[in-house]
Amino acid sequence: MVGPCIFISRSNLPSIIYSELNKLPVEIRMWKETGPMWSKQAAPPREVWVDVFRNCVGAIVTLGDVIDRQLINEADKLFIISTYSVGVDHIDVKAATEKGIYVTHTPEVLVEAVADLAMGLLIALARKIVLGDRLVRAGGIYDRWGWLLGSEVHGATLGIIGLGNIGTAVARRAKAFDMKVIYWSRTRKPHIEFALGIEYRPLESVLSESDFVVITVAATPETRHLINEERLRLMKKTAYLINVARGDIVDTNALVKALREGWIAGAALDVFEEEPLPSTHELTKFDNVVLTPHIGSATYETRERMAEVAVRNLINILMGKRPLYLANPEVLSIRPLQALI
């Protein structure tokens, strides 16, 4: 007898997802596309999703899969959406909750990898590493070495916007560079201030005092375009902006204007309002901008741990158990857990 249907939206996710599900009495359906997990172009078409939501009890999805209210309203049997990501902004969680659908995600496991990237981007930006590499490959660098005078990281002031797990991990790394660390977060964290020797500031003060600003705040309707033209104008002309959170936290048009007019010294971005970023985008034209294609969690170790959590979340739900990470705990009172296998 064929068990309940589970849908997986990519065929190139870590193998542990498939091997664990193959141990269960479930029917596995898989979209054969192997594109990047954040790519909307690689996502299943709408008609496939409608069929999944009507006929499957669970789905493992990625950042590139837009699960909106209209699609959720098509759900008949669906019980759980397990996203292979920490963020859930690609899912209408409110609509899912109203429909009694559990939404799970994979926080914490990618904290250290994203924090590593944040510091890597900061150093690459400050010391013009990417530009230096480009000039060496082009030849003639020794006639133009003055172009590569950068900024010291040691002793500089780092401002962190959003002191969650990732922001805290960035702060720990920054202290190893003897940086002064200040932060703004929607909730003040006195215990972390004491443990790490960092200081809270209002958002405007973080922007105006910092030599480097790292964005690690969660994406919510309230944080969309949190960094806008008005706030970019508060930054020092010698300061750098680094974003490893979500693209729409920064107003891209305002950032392009800030770079073009010299309000800030440069930017490093791992995330964008439009992903993938077109190769012709204005941001690609600046020598003082470092761009990476949303690779915050892109280490072998982290992606494997994310897969373990994503599939465990789903299996727990199927067995009537609470998942490791539930993005909408309110759903428990709407649709109590029950064993599905």
pLDDT in tens, the chain (341 residues): 578 999 999 999 999 999 999 999 999 999 986 666 556 667 899 999 999 999 999 999 999 899 999 999 999 999 999 999 988 999 999 999 999 999 999 999 999 999 999 999 999 999 999 998 988 888 866 666 667 899 999 999 999 999 999 999 999 999 999 999 999 999 999 999 999 999 999 999 999 999 999 999 999 999 999 999 999 999 999 999 999 999 999 999 999 999 999 999 999 999 999 998 999 999 999 999 999 999 999 999 999 999 999 999 999 999 999 999 999 999 999 999 999 99
Residues 128, 99 within the same domain: no
Report the CATH number that the domain containing residue 46 is assigned in CATH: 3.40.50.720
Number of domains in the chain: 2
- Residue in 291, 231, 220, 224 with CA at minimum distance from that of residue 255: 231
Residues 163, 269 within the same domain: yes
What does the DSSP 8-state code read for residue 269?
E
Catalytic residues: 246, 275, 294
Does 118 fall in a domain?
Answer: yes
- From CA 339, how far away is CA 61, in angstroms rounded? 21
Whether the CB-CB separation of 242 and 268 falls below 8 Å is answered with yes
Strand partners, 58: 6, 80
Residues 189, 83 within the same domain: no
Beta strands at 199-200 and 180-184: parallel, antiparallel or unpaired? parallel
In degrees to the nearest 10, what's the CA dihedral of 303, 129, 209, 263? -110
Residues 161, 266 within the same domain: yes
- From CA 81, how far away is CA 62, in angstroms rounded? 10
Strand partners, 91: 67
Whether the CB-CB separation of 66 and 41 falls below 8 Å is answered with no
Residues 66, 195 within the same domain: no
Residues 286, 307 within the same domain: no
Cis preceding linkage at 276, omega within 30: yes
Q: What is the span of the domain harbouring residue 133?
A: 111-291
**Residue 159 host element (H or E):** strand 157-161
What does the DSSP 8-state code read for residue 223?
G
Whether the CB-CB separation of 61 and 34 falls below 8 Å is answered with no
Residues 250, 310 within the same domain: no
Does 340 fall in a domain?
Answer: no
- From CA 38, how far away is CA 299, in angstroms rounded? 15
Specify the pLDDT at position 327.
Answer: 97
172 alpha carbon, distance to own chain's centre: 19
Specify the pLDDT at position 196.
Answer: 98
- From CA 215, how far away is CA 210, in angstroms rounded? 12
Alpha helix ranges (H) inside 161-245 = 165-176, 190-196, 203-209, 229-232
Residues 205, 83 within the same domain: no
Does 339 fall in a domain?
Answer: no
Residues 84, 182 within the same domain: no
Specify the pLDDT at position 144.
Answer: 62
